[in-house]
Amino acid sequence: MNLVNFKHDTDADGILTLVWDMPGKPMNVLDQSLMDELNTIVDHVMADAATKGVVLTSGKDAFCAGADLTMMEGAGKKFAATP
């Protein structure tokens, strides 16, 4: 997998360890790039019978600071414009 927001490694038992560590940000946040990568990860895990489990951890002091407010604003505008 080619991921930007996660470092990843699968051990001999088939356990995929994901370290969420968004580059250039002091804290991890939920944004569209993260959501896209999570979709990629889920697709990969579902297609790979050798993967037996997934561990998700943070490379930052806190796991997540919340959602990226600019992403939330954009989603709100899209919703408001929907007939």
Please give the structure tokens belonging to residue 45.
């895990």
Q: H/E element holding 6?
A: strand 6-10
Could you tell me the pTM of the whole model?
A: 0.79
All structural domains of the chain, each given as residue ranges with its CATH number in brackets, are 6-81 (3.90.226.10)
pLDDT band at 50 (very low <50, low <70, confident <90, very high): very high
pLDDT band at 46 (very low <50, low <70, confident <90, very high): very high
Tell me what pLDDT residue 63 has.
Answer: 93
Q: What is the pLDDT of residues 6-27, one digit of tens each?
A: 999 999 999 999 999 999 999 9
* Angle at CA of residue 35, ends 32 and 39, nearest 5°: 140
| Helix (H/G/I), strand (E/B), else coil: 76 | helix
pLDDT band at 36 (very low <50, low <70, confident <90, very high): very high
pLDDT band at 51 (very low <50, low <70, confident <90, very high): very high
